[in-house]
Amino acid sequence: MDPINVDFGGKKKRTAQVHPGGSTVKKIIVSLVITLAVAAGLYYFMLPALNFKAIELYLYLAVVIFVFIAAFGITSKAYFRPEYMEYAKSKVKIPVILLLVLAAVVLVGYLSGAVIFRAKSYHNIIDVKEGDFAADVAEIDFSSVPRLDKDSSNNIATRALGDLSDYVSQFVVNEYYSTQINYKGTPVRVQSLDYGDIFKWMKNTKNGIPAYIIVDMTNQKAETVRLENAMKYSPAEHFNEYLVRHVRFNYPTLMLDTPSFEIDDNGNPYWIVPVLDKTIGLFGGTDVIGAVLVDSVTGDTTLVSTSLDGNTKLKTDKFVTDDEYQWIDQVYSANILNQQYNFYGKYGNGFINSIIGQSDVKVTSSGYNYLALNDDVYMYTGVTSITSDQSIIGFVLINQRTKEAKYYQVSGALEETARTSAQGKVQQYNYTATFPLLLNVSGEPTYFMALKDASELVKMYAMVNVKQSTVVGVGSTLTECMSKYAEELEKSGISVNIDVDSMGDEEDNTTVQKETVEVSGTVAEIRSVITGGETYFYIKLNEAEPYYKVAVSQAEKVVILNVGDAITFTVQKDASGSIIPVEAVK
């Protein structure tokens, strides 16, 4: 039935509205029931914080309102009978008004926290003090300097996992959740495991994740730690054991940042989930105000605050500075710290100055690294003037547990320039340099980096003088690298007093040459698995007990081996266990 219209001088005027029949109240109730059911499902998967400073809450509410409008359109048959559309529109005016209110709140919220109006507040979001390079950085011992980066650590962890026959086909190293911490006075990366795929999750989730991996950043050794009780809560899980969902259901109003994986002093695995706040306007000035500690085995949660003065915004009397939580190393992510320092460096003299004039405007350089200092982990990054990115004017160290920040004024080459200089020194090998750390070598600001091959294994080390990037020392051991660097400094007229005996090479596995033996036999069994993008073959000889593990990239001929073929492996003389890594294939 069409709406009734009367023609007045060629213009149509609506005089009646077609009703689809049935109770309007009933249609609204049915639509609400549908909306509530969909809203519950959306909340389970979207997991918005029930906090008016969380932009995802507004998105969630907008979607729910759209669901109601759609549901009412269906119950009133407006989508199937155009003549009922006017009726449906007249009944959803309130939801439409709510959508407009949400849009207005979001707009006002963004404007209230816009940098153009609140530049000084953004500048003050982090407190940066001047540091004394000689006093602070001189305390660093070379034995505690990380010699690996994240990619190298992931590669070593993947190889270590491949040595465990009961894990290799079911689990993979979760390369995203690799956290650098100080563990028993040593910089290490702790890496969680993930299920190999959804089917392996279905098979193993009941028992949980049985281990994690520790990679020593100073000697490139990996240890797989088997847990007496497996981890049941992690980002690798689904449904209620999924880490973020578990935390959300316990703390529905908290805004959460990306979790990090850590272990306490006893090796117990935890997830550290930072708690965020918007400190400028409604949506601006993201800062960390605390963290939720999740026991990955039991799921028990503890809320701690980052406040240093006791004036916490969280309902808790526990602080990351308390003795029992000193083991926590990463509460503030490097991304947030990097962003906050850029706010500090850009907006000290106002927003207009950051664009026009740019007096005393400085920003962080192209990357960052981590440094172990005073039993904490600090994010390191160079600082450069925004008007000239050809050199650094200093660098900043920021504590990832407390956000204590110190700026050190040092002029010299950019980190990328130092990497280029180091790589050029060994260009015949096509090694890649890690992102540099700035260290104090006998009073000389010095970039230190590892040189990696295509397999992400550290082969050499390099030191580059910050003030003179052409002064470069490289070596296959830390001692050799330091000696070469000292020689280059002397040639440039810089006298240094360096004790090379303190370099700690006794623990450096880049220099340890272990005795090898050859093992020959006939192939009795072959298995293969893909781990971390690399294909490994596990070959048993003459029905013997161990499998010999060979990477395809190490010896491509293994892909054409068949049962019954003769083969010779080179392995370490003292190698033992059910899986033995192969050094070479003949």
Tens of pLDDT along 69-82?
999 888 887 667 77
pLDDT of res. 514: 53
Instruction: Check: CB of residue 422 under 8 Å from CB of residue 462.
Output: yes
Name the pairing type of β-strands 128-130 and 405-408.
Answer: parallel
**Higher-scoring residue by pLDDT: 153, 510:** 153
Task: Check whether residue 418 and residue 405 sit in a common domain.
Answer: no
Longest CA pairwise span in the chain (Å): 105
Which residue is it, tokens 């990366």? 189
φ, ψ of residue 135 to 5 degrees: the values are -75, -40
Residues 226 and 238 in one domain: no
Q: 41 lies in a domain?
A: yes
Neighbours of 411 (CB within 10 A): 11
User: Using 50, 70 and 90 to split pLDDT, how confident is the model at 285?
Assistant: very high
Residue 99 is inside which H or E element, if any?
helix 93-112
The string of DSSP codes covering 561-579 is: --TT-EEEEEEETT--SSE
- 570-585 as b/e, with b when 16 or more CB fall inside 10 Å? ebeeebeeebbbbbeb
Sign of CA dihedral 390, 394, 395, 398: negative
User: Which of residues 357, 380, 410 is at a domain's end?
Assistant: 410
pLDDT class of 503 with cuts at 50, 70, 90: low
What 3-state DSSP class applies to 489? helix
pLDDT tens-digit profile of 42-69? 999 999 999 999 999 999 999 999 999 9
What pLDDT, on a 0 to 100 scale, did the predictor assign at position 390?
73
Q: Which CATH number is 567's domain given?
A: 2.40.50.140
Q: Are residues 77 and 18 in the same domain?
A: yes
* Average pLDDT over the chain, rounded to an integer: 86
pLDDT in tens, 396-446: 999 999 999 999 988 888 888 999 999 998 888 889 999 998 888 877 888
Model pLDDT, residue 534: 66
Which domain-ending residue is among 410, 445, 467? 410
Q: Are residues 473 and 393 in the same domain?
A: no
Q: How far apart are CA 431 and CA 147, in angstroms?
A: 15
Residue 420 in domain: yes
**pLDDT at residue 458, as a whole number:** 85
Average of per-residue pLDDT across 515-531: 82
What one-character-per-residue DSSP string does 347-408 give? STT-HHHHHTT-TT-EEE-S--EEEEETTEEEEEEEEEETTB-SEESEEEEEETTT--EEEE
For residue 17, the model assigns a pLDDT of: 65
pLDDT of residue 511: 38
Q: What is the pLDDT of residue 86?
A: 78
User: Looking at the 3D structure of the chain, how many domains does it have?
Assistant: 6
Give me the domain span that covers residue 503.
Answer: 413-507
Residue with tokens 């009412």: 72
Same domain assignment for residues 378 and 417: no
Nearest Cα neighbor of 425 from 474, 466, 461 is: 474
Whether residue 132 is contained in a domain is answered as: no
- What are the pLDDT digits (tens) for 307-322? 877 778 899 999 999 9
Q: Are residues 214 and 236 in the same domain?
A: no
Cβ-based neighbours of 428, under 8 Å, separated by 6 or more: none
pLDDT of residue 206: 93
Tell me whether residue 134 is in a domain. Answer: no
Reported confidence tier of residue 2, pLDDT bands at 50, 70, 90: very low
The CA–CA distances, whole Å, from 514 to 164, 511, 570 equal 22, 10, 12
User: Is residue 97 predicted with pLDDT exceeding 60?
Assistant: yes
Residue 6 has a pLDDT of 39
pLDDT surpasses 80 at 502: no
182 belongs to a structural domain: yes
Identify the CA nearest to 462 among candidates 441, 443, 490, 442.
441
DSSP, collapsed to helix, strand or coil, labels residue 470 as coil
Q: Give residue 584's pLDDT.
A: 81
Which amino acid is located at 386 in the chain?
I
425 and 459 Cβ atoms separated by less than 8 Å: no
pLDDT value at residue 366: 80
Q: Does any domain span residue 238?
A: yes
What's the CA gap between 128 and 28, in Å, rounded?
57
Q: What pLDDT does residue 139 have? A: 54
- Predicted confidence at residue 165, as pLDDT, reads 66
> Residue 305 in contact with residue 312, Cβ under 8 Å?
yes
In this prediction, residue 545 carries a pLDDT of: 72
DSSP annotation string for 398-410? EETTT--EEEE--
- The per-residue pLDDT for 513 is 43
pLDDT at residue 154 tops 60: yes
Tell me: do 288 and 364 sit in the same domain. no
Asked if 9 and 108 sit in the same domain, the reply is yes
pLDDT at residue 162, rounded to an integer: 73
User: Are the CB atoms for 516 and 573 separated by under 8 Å?
Assistant: yes
Verify that 243 and 302 share a domain, yes or no: yes
* Whether residue 516 has pLDDT greater than 60: yes
Show the CA angle centred on residue 205, arms to residues 200 and 208, nearest 5°: 115
Query: Which of 109-118, 155-164, 181-190, 564-573: highest mean pLDDT?
Result: 109-118
- Which two tokens mark 572? 């370490």
Say whether pLDDT at 12 is over 70.
no
Whether residue 185 sits in one domain with residue 173: yes
Does a structural domain hold residue 137? Answer: no
pLDDT, tens digit, 9 for 90 and up, residues 212-250: 999 998 888 898 899 999 999 999 999 999 999 999 999
Q: Are residues 422 and 401 in the same domain?
A: no
* Claim to verify: residue 20 and residue 94 sit in the same structural domain: yes
Give residue-wise pLDDT tens across range 351-374.
999 999 888 899 998 889 888 877
What pLDDT sits at residue 459? Answer: 87
Query: In a 3-state reduction of DSSP, which class is residue 140?
Result: coil
User: First vs last Cα of the chain: how many Å apart?
Assistant: 87
Q: What is the pLDDT of residue 531?
A: 60
Question: Among residues 112, 131, 157, which one ends one of the domains?
Answer: 112
Q: Quick check: is 140 in a domain?
A: no
Residue 168 has pLDDT above 70, yes or no: no
Q: Quote the Cα angle for 60-64-70, to 5°.
A: 145
Backbone Cα Rg of the chain = 30
